[in-house]
């Protein structure tokens, strides 16, 4: 299936793509079809949208290539979608790659040398790019030029290669890992915030219309409240609730149907999934609420340390259910309440004093 067709989608073409993607079970393709196509259609991130709109309109008015753009924020908030919107607003093609895929300067040189004038290069997880490639990118962003090294040792020669003007859109989930020389070369930096439930409800209603799913206000609110402030998760949960509604109900999504469906998929009322509850459960039941080291906690739930640290922990901390301390991870009083457990009278392993008796 070709998803790189140029030109605006008609309603008929979009419907065909959605139906075909659903029939093939291609969740990724459905996600792509649900992406907003312009800034007016993009829900949320009001400040970033307003600022980016000015940057793009000014560039178009000058007949120039847009400044380089850095987008930071948690996964699923719309960084990739905004990069595609930037290309669409500028009437330019887009090239997509990622930091981990560029491990050598030659990898980056090959990509840059094949860019067309005005093209948008989207570099996801830019903070994970190798240092040699990063240093080459400095010159490419500032002077639209790279030096290609031919040969080795004393006989090596640097051949300058001129590049057509292009727009780099970098995306990162960890902006603090970007070196200042790279960060300073971006003309615009936008930080993506988590979505409020009302914004997620708008996302869900829009996606439901595109998917031809009937959903009421309460049903959308139930899904939004369990979506962790993230549109990608909201769309994924909507599709799973749709499946449940088609099989177990009359196809219409209301609050009871949404709640029952998300119960089947182990997503609770606060958006915690199986891994989140496993981490909290181990912390409370096995370690008395902590403190406990991250590696020990990961072993207790049978997951890799990185999975617990990068997938479960940020949400649990943001929800006020878990805290990082110098002595290890500690459950908050709200964690005991959420899992319906009674904390030890004197706290676990010195927990008293961190949160009180």
Which one of 65, 173, 230, 332 is the catalytic residue?
Answer: 173
Measure the CA–CA gap between 298 and 247, rounded to whole angstroms: 36
Using alpha carbons only, what angle is made at residue 201 by residues 33 and 8, rounded to the nearest 5 degrees? 25
Measure the CA–CA gap between 357 and 303, rounded to whole angstroms: 31
Which one of 232, 236, 242, 329 is the catalytic residue?
Answer: 232
Residue 173: active-site member: yes
3-class SS of residue 325: strand
Measure the CA–CA gap between 329 and 89, rounded to whole angstroms: 45
Measure the CA–CA gap between 22 and 100, rounded to whole angstroms: 30
Which one of 17, 49, 79, 329 is the catalytic residue?
Answer: 79
Residue 232: active-site member: yes
Measure the CA–CA gap between 199 and 228, rounded to whole angstroms: 12
Which one of 17, 49, 124, 185 is the catalytic residue?
Answer: 124
Residue 37: active-site member: no
Residue 28: active-site member: no
Which one of 17, 65, 80, 167 is the catalytic residue?
Answer: 80
Residue 324: active-site member: no
What is the rounded (10 degree) CA torsion for 335, 338, 342, 346? 20
φ, ψ (nearest 5 deg) of residue 330: -130, 135
Q: Catalytic residue positions?
A: 79-80, 124, 173, 232
């Amino acid at each position: 299936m070709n998803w790189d067709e140029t030109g605006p989608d008609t309603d008929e073409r979009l419907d065909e793509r959605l139906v075909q993607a659903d029939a093939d079970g291609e969740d990724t393709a459905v996600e792509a079809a649900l992406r907003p196509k312009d800034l007016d259609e993009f829900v949320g991130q009001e400040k970033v949208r307003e600022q980016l709109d000015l940057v793009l309109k000014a560039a178009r008015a000058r007949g120039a290539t847009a400044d380089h753009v850095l987008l930071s924020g948690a996964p699923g908030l719309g960084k990739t979608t905004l990069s595609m919107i930037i290309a669409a607003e500028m009437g330019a093609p887009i090239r997509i790659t990622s930091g981990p895929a560029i491990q050598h300067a030659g990898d980056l040189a090959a990509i840059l040398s094949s860019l067309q004038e005005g093209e948008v290069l989207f570099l996801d997880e830019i903070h994970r790019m190798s240092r040699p490639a990063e240093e080459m990118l400095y010159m490419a962003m500032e002077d639209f030029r790279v030096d290609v090294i031919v040969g080795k040792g004393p006989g090596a020669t640097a051949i300058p290669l001129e590049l057509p003007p292009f727009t780099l859109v970098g995306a990162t989930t960890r902006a603090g890992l970007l070196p200042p020389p790279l960060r300073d070369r971006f003309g615009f930096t936008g930080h993506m915030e988590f979505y409020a439930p009302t914004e997620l409800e708008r996302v869900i209603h829009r996606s439901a219309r595109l998917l031809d799913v009937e959903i009421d206000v309460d049903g959308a609110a139930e899904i939004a409240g369990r979506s962790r402030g993230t549109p990608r998760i909201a769309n994924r949960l909507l599709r799973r609730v749709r499946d449940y509604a088609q099989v177990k109900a009359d196809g219409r999504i209301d609050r009871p149907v949404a709640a029952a469906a998300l119960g089947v998929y182990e997503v609770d009322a606060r958006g915690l999934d199986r891994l989140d509850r496993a981490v909290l459960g181990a912390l409370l039941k096995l370690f008395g609420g902590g403190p406990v080291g991250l590696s020990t906690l990961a072993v207790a739930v049978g997951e890799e340390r990185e999975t617990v640290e990068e997938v479960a922990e940020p949400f649990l901390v943001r929800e006020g259910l878990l805290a990082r301390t110098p002595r290890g991870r500690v459950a908050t009083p709200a964690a005991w309440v959420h899992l319906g457990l009674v904390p030890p009278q004197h706290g676990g392993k010195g927990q008293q004093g961190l949160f009180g008796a």
